[in-house]
Amino acid sequence: MKDLVVVAAAQPTCSAAPTKNGVSKAAATPTTDEAAKNGHEHCTFHHDMELDHRPPTRESLLPDMSRSYRLLLSSLGEDPDRQGLLKTPERAAKAMLFFTKGYDQSLEEVLNDAVFDEDHDEMVVVKDIEMFSMCEHHLVPFYGKVSIGYLPKKKILGLSKLARIVEIFSRRLQVQERLTKQIAIAVTKAVDPAGVAVVVEGVHMCMVMRGVQKINSKTVTSTMLGVFRDDPKTREEFLNLVHSK
């Protein structure tokens, strides 16, 4: 078993996930086709404890990223060799990998078969899911909350998976408009419901720390698909549930 761990740790991409009885599906390096089939051909960095595997971090990127942050510090007129900044380039590189760990996750692996047959056709709403993301225009954070509703058609999704879907797409370089739509489309792919509604409320540091510097401004975006777009009463019910205390 120790030999298997050493081999897996040396791979630049994910090796195969363990089977249900705990035995590895492959001890050797997976082929390109196998990696693509497993959905980990570009595996890099994440710590999703519900997954049945632990892909290695893309540590090979850290030296180049650290050098880039060191150059940035020098360009700002700082001394990257002073005590307080000695480890800052490496810390910043690791932080950026964490902030963008959503690139390394797919919908299929996060769902992890948590889709269940259930004779339920009433609205399901999970609201106020905390969200943290990075503005792709200025590389500064935006954060807020996400509310998701869907109308099942005999299939329901494990409730925690809605929050994990938010994580997949928020932990990337984003704009809020695209993030909102990607979440809605992902829920649609997961359970093929009669409709999906997503509302995102965000505070953007690019408007708070710089530019217009409006500290109390919030941005609200929504995506309505299926019955939520076509039926005003269904849409109104969802919005009332989201805004209720």
Which residues are tagged catalytic?
Answer: 135-138, 176, 204, 206
- The separation between the first and the last C-alpha atoms of the chain, rounded to the nearest angstrom, is 52
SS (H, E, C) 1-39: CHHHHHHHHCCCCCCCCECCCCCECCCCCCCHHHHHHHC
> Residue 174's beta-bridge partner residues?
135
Closest-CA residue to 181 (of 167, 162, 200, 164):
200
Residue 58 near residue 45, CB atoms below 8 Å: yes
Burial string for 80-104 (b: 16+ CB within 10 Å, else e) reads eeeeebeebbbebbbebbebbbbbb
Residue 226 near residue 198, CB atoms below 8 Å: no
Residue 6, number of CB atoms within 10 A of its CB: 9
What does the chain come to in residues? 245
